[in-house]
């Protein structure tokens, strides 16, 4: 969840939403409208320092100084199966990654299923098998579950909400508010694969494209980075809904820094770039499910980059930019033609039901 503007964080009762009275698809975009809904509607009544931190997981202290990262993600992707993955793999990886983005070791997941009456059991079996394959790869256990059934027409096949718990090793101090001027920004690989793969899988485009979702558990990649240095990794975040642009804006805002990225350094696979060009999409705003952004001390950036490149899902990692003092809360991009442009957060809805 996003950080809260100061005027809202102090309120203890829900505020009116003067400009909207009904939920629209854009409220699920992960971009500005989602942030607005969260800041205005969810945070005021539920306000507490853990939620307000606005990171991918809540970080809590339990007895004897053990820190836990706790996260949740509802998954409503359509279609349920797409090249490179399915809703089951997505549900496991999405939550594993949110926990890992706090530098935590994900250990346990829960899964709540909402099934539509009439769902084929064989399809559900495939989804559950896929969850187990992903859980095994990540090294986590699904330790609790719940199943509800709703009447035909009241869900779209099935929805899965996963939650995850992990322990944060001593010395790790990662969060969206911890980027510092001078830090280096690393991206673990090409962007836009997941969003485009799901879009193409819907079969509504009138053309085919060979794009696979990147959906993957990133906890082993994070572990490799932490083996290089625990204290020098300041921010980790996976650019899912809203894409890289939205994630970088969240960090710039939370850390009150300026972020500069270099267009020529940002990897986009040719097939993804081609689909984006046809449809008028900017890959900076397209969802990823197996990529992360790491903001790290300049002094150790090369070593951390090498450690990422040595892992399964990080072979194509690159440095894409740096953190500056100014302009605060802004993301700038140096374009391939030499100009500089502001990169804003996703404003409305680009691709509904992407995760």
Of 66 and 264, which has the nearer Cβ to a second copy? 66
CA distance 260 to 327: 10
Of 113 and 285, which has the nearer Cβ to a second copy? 113
Rounded to the nearest whole angstrom, what is the least distance from the CB of residue 352 to a second copy in the complex?
A: 7
341 - beta bridge partners? 333
| Residue 279 interacts with a second copy (CB under 8 A): yes or no | no
Task: Report 82-141 residues binding a second copy (CB under 8 A).
Answer: 98, 107-108, 110-122, 124-125, 128-129, 131-132, 135, 141
Rounded CA Rg of the chain: 19
In 122-281, the DSSP E strands lie at 141-150, 158-168, 184-187, 233-237, 258-262
Q: Measure the N-to-C terminal CA separation of the chain; round to a whole number of Å.
A: 16
Encode 7-39: b = buried (16+ Cβ within 10 Å), e = exposed.
Answer: ebeeeeeeeeeeeeeeeeebbbbbbbbbbbbbb
Among 8, 9, 36, 51, binds a second copy (CB under 8 A): 51
Among 7, 10, 60, 182, binds a second copy (CB under 8 A): 60
75 - beta bridge partners? 160
Rounded to the nearest whole angstrom, what is the least distance from the CB of residue 225 to a second copy in the complex?
A: 21
158 - beta bridge partners? 115
Rounded to the nearest whole angstrom, what is the least distance from the CB of residue 37 to a second copy in the complex?
A: 7
Secondary structure (DSSP) of 130-150: HHHHHHHHHT-EEEEEEEEEE
Rounded to the nearest whole angstrom, what is the least distance from the CB of residue 36 to a second copy in the complex?
A: 11
Rounded to the nearest whole angstrom, what is the least distance from the CB of residue 84 to a second copy in the complex?
A: 20
| Residue 326 interacts with a second copy (CB under 8 A): yes or no | no
Of 8 and 42, which has the nearer Cβ to a second copy? 42
Of 116 and 297, which has the nearer Cβ to a second copy? 116
Per the CB < 8 A criterion, the answer to whether 322 and 184 are in contact is yes
Among 5, 9, 11, 70, binds a second copy (CB under 8 A): 70
What single DSSP character describes residue 15? P
Number of residues that bind a second copy (CB under 8 A): 84
Of 112 and 327, which has the nearer Cβ to a second copy? 112
Of 148 and 298, which has the nearer Cβ to a second copy? 148
CA distance 196 to 29: 15
Picking from 151, 92, 87, the residue whose alpha carbon sits closest to that of residue 124 is: 87
Cα–chain-centroid distance for residue 226?
A: 19
DSSP H or E run through 273: helix 270-279
**Residue 18: helix, strand or coil by DSSP?**
coil
Torsion of CA 165, 39, 289, 23, to 10 degrees: 120
DSSP H or E run through 6: helix 6-9
Of 128 and 205, which has the nearer Cβ to a second copy? 128
Residue span binding a second copy (CB under 8 A) among the ranges 144-152, 266-274, 285-293, 298-306: 144-152
Rounded to the nearest whole angstrom, what is the least distance from the CB of residue 270 to a second copy in the complex?
A: 31
| Residue 350 interacts with a second copy (CB under 8 A): yes or no | no
Task: Report 10-49 residues binding a second copy (CB under 8 A).
Answer: 13-14, 17, 20-28, 34, 37-38, 41-42, 45-46, 48
Cα–chain-centroid distance for residue 97?
A: 8
Of 167 and 324, which has the nearer Cβ to a second copy? 167
Task: Report 146-165 residues binding a second copy (CB under 8 A).
Answer: 146-151, 153-156, 159, 161, 163, 165
Rounded to the nearest whole angstrom, what is the least distance from the CB of residue 125 to a second copy in the complex?
A: 4
| Residue 203 interacts with a second copy (CB under 8 A): yes or no | no
| Residue 79 interacts with a second copy (CB under 8 A): yes or no | no
Rounded to the nearest whole angstrom, what is the least distance from the CB of residue 87 to a second copy in the complex?
A: 12
What single DSSP character describes residue 17? -
DSSP H or E run through 200: helix 193-201
């Amino acid at each position: 969840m996003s950080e809260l503007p100061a005027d809202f964080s102090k309120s203890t009762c829900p505020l009116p939403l003067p400009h909207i009275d009904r939920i629209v698809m854009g409220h699920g975009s992960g971009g500005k409208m989602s942030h607005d809904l969260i800041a205005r509607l969810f945070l005021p009544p539920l306000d507490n320092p853990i939620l307000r931190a606005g990171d991918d997981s809540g970080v809590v202290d339990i007895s004897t100084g053990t820190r836990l990262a706790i996260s949740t993600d509802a998954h409503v992707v359509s279609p349920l199966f797409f090249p490179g993955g399915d809703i089951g793999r997505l549900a496991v990886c999405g939550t594993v990654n949110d926990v890992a983005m706090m530098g935590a070791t994900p250990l346990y997941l829960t899964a709540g299923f909402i099934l539509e009456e009439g769902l084929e059991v064989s399809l559900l079996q495939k989804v559950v098998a896929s969850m187990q394959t992903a859980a095994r790869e990540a090294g986590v256990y699904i330790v609790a579950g719940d199943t509800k059934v709703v009447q035909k027409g009241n869900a779209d096949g099935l929805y899965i909400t996963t939650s995850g718990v992990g322990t944060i090793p001593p010395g790790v101090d990662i969060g969206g508010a911890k980027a510092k001027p001078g830090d280096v920004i690393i991206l673990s690989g090409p962007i836009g694969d997941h969003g485009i793969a799901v879009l193409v899988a819907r079969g509504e485009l009138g053309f085919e494209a060979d794009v696979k979702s990147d959906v993957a558990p990133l906890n082993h990649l994070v572990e490799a980075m932490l083996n290089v240095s625990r204290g020098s990794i300041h921010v980790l975040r996976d650019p899912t809904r809203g894409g890289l642009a939205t994630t970088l804006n969240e960090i710039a805002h939370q850390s009150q820094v300026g972020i500069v990225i270099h267009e020529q350094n940002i990897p986009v696979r040719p097939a993804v770039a081609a689909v984006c060009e046809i449809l008028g999409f900017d890959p900076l705003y397209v969802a990823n499910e197996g990529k992360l952004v790491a903001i790290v001390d300049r002094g150790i950036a090369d070593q951390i980059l090498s450690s990422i490149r040595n892992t399964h899902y990080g072979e194509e990692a690159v440095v894409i930019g740096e953190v500056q003092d100014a302009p605060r809360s802004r993301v700038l991009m140096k374009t391939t033609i030499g100009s500089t442009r502001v990169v804003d957060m996703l404003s409305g809805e680009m691709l509904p039901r992407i995760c």
